[in-house]
Structures are given as C-alpha cells and as structure tokens.
Amino acid sequence: MRGWKRWAGAAVAALLVGGNAFYWLGAYNIAASQPHLPGVGEVLHQYLRNVIRTRGWGVEVPEHVDLADAGLIRLGAGHFATGCMTCHGAPGIPRNPVVEGMQPEPPRLSGSYEPEEYWWIARHGFKYTGMPAWAGEGRDDEPWAMAAFLSRYESFDRAGFEEAAFGEVGGYESAGVRFGGLPGAIPQELGCARCHGADGLGRDGTAPKLAGQSEDWLVQVLGAYAVGHRESGFMEPLAAPLSDETIAAIAARYAGMQADWQGEALSMGDAARGEDLARQGSEHDDIASCLSCHGDGEEGPKRADTPRIAGQDGYWLVNWLHMYRDGPVPTTPRAHLMAAAARNLSDADILDLAAYLSQAE
C-alpha cells in the first residue's frame, strides 16, 4: 500500500514538472509553416465535420426563405465576394497566395454540405481556424443567402459568379484577387450598386430598394451600420470603412433616384388582411397602424428619418419585422418606436403585412 502511494505521488510530480516544462517552453510547435504531426490534422478536421453535421440537425429553413430564389443567390454571391473569396477563392478565381500559408488552409469550396449546414457555418464560424462568425450579431436571417449560394456553388463558373456578385457595375476588373478587399478596384460609391442596383431598385430582389429613400434616413442607417448600432453581416463590413463624406455622397445619390417601386411579392401571407392591419392596426391585438408613420406609396413617410416601406420586397419586410420583434433591435435613437410597434405581431401578421406592403402603391 505504502509503495503504491509513493509511486502515484512520483507520477503526479513528474506530470506536473513535465507538463509545466512543455507548456512554458512551447514545446509543441504551432507554426503555420509546419505540418501537423501525422494524424492530428485528420482527427481535427473530422471533428469539425462532426460538429457541422450535429449542429445542422437543429437548423430549419424559415418558411419565407426560398433557397432557389435568384435574388437570394445573387446576394449570397455578392457577400461571398465581399467577405469570403479573399480566403476561399471563388469559382474559377484562385486564392491569394497569402492565405495558402494558413494552417489549416481555407479550403476551396465544393458545395458538399447541406444548406442548413452552410447556414450554421456562416452564422457561427470556427474557433482556431480563422473562420469568423457572422458579423451581424443575432441576424439569423442573413446567412440564408450564403446557404442559397453555397449549395449551388458548383453550378457557377467564373463568368456566372462575376455576373451574380458584381452585376453590371463599371470599374470592376476581374484580373486578380487582391488581399483584404474586393478583386480589382471598385469605387466605394459603385460598390452599393452591386446588390442595390445602379438604379437603386435592388437588382431584381437581390437587396432592399433604396431609390428615393430620404437622405436623412440613408445617412442615419449607413452610419449606424458603420458603428454597429444596427446589426448586419452584409452591411457592417461595407459601411465601417466609409468616411462621413462618402456616406453623405452615397445618401444624396440614392435619395435623388426615381422611387419607382414595385416590390417582389411573397408567395405567402394574406394581402387583404395585411392591408387592414397596415392601415387600421388592431384593437384586440394591440397593433399600431404601419401607415400612420410610414405613409403609403403615394404620400411617403411622415418624417424624413422614417423609411418608406410601401413597395419594398416582401422578403426584407419579413426579415425586418422579425428583427424589430425578436431582436437585435438597432440602438439608433428612434428604433425603440418600431420595436414597440412590432412587439405584438404574430408570425402570421408579419407575413400578411409583408404580402400587402410589397404590393402597396
């Protein structure tokens, strides 16, 4: 018994000394220039796959998200160009040599996961790999664009990808992949047009319509994205580097465009009930009328810093109403008013309102 105890004590002491020596001397080399010890990389990568598979089980495609929607796929491609292709490359576009020195090396993508799994990866990222979580904290609606694009990744060639991600934007040179930026130089004010369209009408449902929104509102929202007062994984990375002058110039340009809105309808929701709700509100359910602040398509909003919503795409109306009801509510000065208005909406109310407002004139 005594002997056994002595041996155990010696083993613990040796472990303590050895472990400390290993830890403080940095014995295991984590240099990215060195490969893993045999088998370690495979085990870690398999573990990552296990995590994705298991977490994917708990993810469901929301009712209003159509993964085959061309606009949603274009939006995913556009954000892929903003945030992902620097490290992952893109269809027909190689990675920048800088990232080939990373360990683990960001993979070139192949469309090998399910849409729910892509959503999970884009939303949460991975520790210890350089893969970030979604920049718009809490915006669970946004990564579905990535799921839509990535599950069709293999069907894109270079020209198809460039058309989807950049459209007809002038100034884009597809020659090389710069590190830490868009390929080729796109003037910042043209960058908006990639998704919102050169006419501000949202490129056939790729992104919200901006044409004719008030300058006040555009400045406020873009500024809020820039400093994180309004969450969005799409908009924050693009707005953060903009100077106040650039923001003012962008706002002035979109405010001056022709607001000839006709929203993409949703395939669900009861527009007649939505109209009733938007105009009159509901006594029993304590729902305020939308149009009392936002106005209809003709008269427009009652205040310059209130956005126009009549004729906006149904998809965005649903996402925003969910955002104001469930969070993350923007921390801009008047956002709490919208949160109060959205608080008592049911899922069905949201679909009905979106069905009406997307078609409202």
Residues engaged in binding another protein (CB under 8 A): 280-284, 286-290, 292-293, 302-303, 306, 333-334, 336-337, 339-341, 343-344
Whole-number minimum distance, CB 321 to another protein, in Å?
A: 15
Structural contact between residues 361 and 311, judged by C-beta atoms closer than 8 angstroms: yes
CA dihedral 204, 206, 212, 215 (to 10 degrees): -170
Compute the distance between CA of residue 343 and CA of residue 62 in angstroms, rounded to an integer.
20
Structural contact between residues 305 and 220, judged by C-beta atoms closer than 8 angstroms: yes
Compute the distance between CA of residue 79 and CA of residue 76 in angstroms, rounded to an integer.
5
Whole-number minimum distance, CB 216 to another protein, in Å?
A: 13
Whole-number minimum distance, CB 286 to another protein, in Å?
A: 5
Compute the distance between CA of residue 312 and CA of residue 208 in angstroms, rounded to an integer.
7
Element (H, E) at 278: helix 271-280
Whole-number minimum distance, CB 338 to another protein, in Å?
A: 9
Nearer to another protein, 158 or 303 (CB): 303
Whole-number minimum distance, CB 335 to another protein, in Å?
A: 10
DSSP-derived letter for residue 155 is G
Whole-number minimum distance, CB 247 to another protein, in Å?
A: 21
Compute the distance between CA of residue 37 and CA of residue 31 in angstroms, rounded to an integer.
12
Place of tokens 């923001």: 247
Whole-number minimum distance, CB 293 to another protein, in Å?
A: 3
Nearer to another protein, 268 or 293 (CB): 293
Structure tokens, 122:
């884009």
Nearer to another protein, 178 or 334 (CB): 334
Nearer to another protein, 148 or 310 (CB): 310
Nearer to another protein, 283 or 298 (CB): 283
Structural contact between residues 278 and 356, judged by C-beta atoms closer than 8 angstroms: yes
Q: Could you report how far apart the first and last alpha carbons of the chain are, in Å?
A: 89
C-alpha angle 106-66-257 in degrees, rounded to nearest 5 = 90
Structural contact between residues 243 and 233, judged by C-beta atoms closer than 8 angstroms: no
Nearer to another protein, 85 or 329 (CB): 329
Nearer to another protein, 61 or 339 (CB): 339
